[in-house]
Amino acid sequence: MGRRLRIPAPWLKWGGWCFLISIFMSGFFFRFAPSTLSGGMQQELSLTAASLGVVASMHFWVYTLMQLPAGVFVDSVGMRNGGLVGGVITTIGAFLFGMASNGFILLCGSALLGLGLSAIFVSLMSYNATWFSSEHHSLVMSITMLLAALGSVIAQTPTAYLLSWFSWREVILSFGGGTLLATACLFVFCKDNSAPKQVYDSKGEATAYPVLCGKQYVLRNRQVWLLFFCVAATNGTLYAFLGLWAVPLLTDGFGMQPAQASYYATIALIVYGVGSLFWGWIAGRIGMKKPIIVVTAMLSATAWALMAFSGWQPGWMAMALFLLLGLAGGPVGVIFAATKESVPLDNVGFSTALVNMGAFLTAALVQSGFGIILDIVSAVEPNTAPSLQSYQIALILPLAISGFGVIASLLLREQSTND
């Protein structure tokens, strides 16, 4: 009676990580679910292709713009409080999204999802760095991205089958409830530090001046900006396409059923998750990261070019293209590791957030731009679904971005490993 509940340290370590990962996985689900749910959303809320693109991209816009502020916020309040605030906002966004009666409320829900998950991402990255030793950090990061990819896989074929029994609203609200439960558990299990905090002297040596100088150094760092464009080309285009336009392309362009079309996106996301482990292992074996980044940038450009200009069809040709896209997006962990090697240790968090912005800024631009292009080129045939040719014209947008990624990857310098 009156004694404080003490949770063993291993329970805290793995409990906090599991619940942060659970919310992070739900974030990837919400990020990719519009692709599978687009048919019901468009029909019920009378959304055009451009409107749907804006709604889906709002998540990426807010997530992108809040990366750096979220880093400052989590550093200020701690990763536990940052995770709790992020989880609550994500839950509110999911419920608002699932109960939306019009496109504006849908847009607000998407924005809140991006806002909450920006804090979750930073909290989880800080948690990994705090609770896991440097020799295990790369493996933990790879597992983190693999599990995140599982959330996006659930948003494809499994969700397409759920739509046979439930409405798109019920699916979203159910995952929102799961996010709320994980956030409640986070309150109990998550702890800010695995060791006592470092104590600074009273003279205030950690003043704002060196912090600002460090940020300016990152912003002037050529290598960081090249990595920004590399992750934009491989992951940003992948997130935009699989998160919204992949299933509509297959259903409108080839007359496939949504559940059947979602198989292709599901396979691409599985390859993306497994590829994150594969490329990390290869980079560790050869001791270099630039070759991995160059090869995957070229794979991405090749896949987009074939998808935009070749006469591909559903079946093995389409599957090969989706496999290439998933494989090309896998080295995101390698890119983050290369970012870490490009800056002093004190600036790793800021530089990682900056590079991560490249993926989500690109995803927002491509999702919105794709829808606008579809509406423009399909205007000659009003009240009909866009044709395959219309989609292929829109695919030139991610192709152009992937071309810039190839150039950026070739200009990278191989860094020495700091680990």
Going from the first residue of the chain to its last (419 residues), give the mean pLDDT of each consecutive group of 10, the final group possibly shorter: 48 73 88 81 81 82 84 76 91 92 89 91 78 63 78 83 88 92 82 47 44 67 93 92 88 87 87 86 83 95 95 92 93 82 72 84 88 82 76 94 96 70
pLDDT confidence of residue 202: 39
How many CB atoms neighbour CB 17 within 10 A? Answer: 20
The pLDDT mean for the chain works out to 82
Can you say whether the dihedral through the CA atoms of 11, 16, 22, 28 is positive or negative? negative
- The one-letter code for the residue type at 173 is L
CA distance 361 to 349: 18
CA distance 322 to 5: 50
pLDDT confidence of residue 91: 95
pLDDT confidence of residue 3: 47
pLDDT confidence of residue 299: 96
Degrees, nearest 5: CA angle 373-377-381: 135
pLDDT confidence of residue 317: 93
pLDDT confidence of residue 290: 92
In this structure, are residues 116 and 89 in contact, taking their beta carbons and an 8 Å threshold? yes
Helix (H) or strand (E) holding 23: helix 9-45
Q: What are the structure tokens assigned to 350, written together?
A: 């800021």
pLDDT confidence of residue 412: 94
How many CB atoms neighbour CB 23 within 10 A? Answer: 30
pLDDT confidence of residue 408: 96
CA distance 399 to 368: 15
Q: Which residues contact 132 (CB under 8 A, 6 or more apart)?
A: 140
In this structure, are residues 282 and 291 in contact, taking their beta carbons and an 8 Å threshold? no
Question: Which domains, from first to last, does the chain contain?
Answer: 8-192 (1.20.1250.20), 213-419 (1.20.1250.20)
CA distance 232 to 137: 24
Distances from the Cα of 275 to the Cαs of 75, 91, 236, 333, in angstroms?
31, 30, 16, 10
* Predicted TM-score of the model (pTM): 0.75
How many CB atoms neighbour CB 2 within 10 A? Answer: 3
Phi-psi region of 2 (alpha: psi -120 to 50; beta: other; left: phi over 0): left
pLDDT confidence of residue 418: 45
Distances from the Cα of 177 to the Cαs of 15, 71, 114, 138, 360, in angstroms?
19, 26, 17, 31, 25
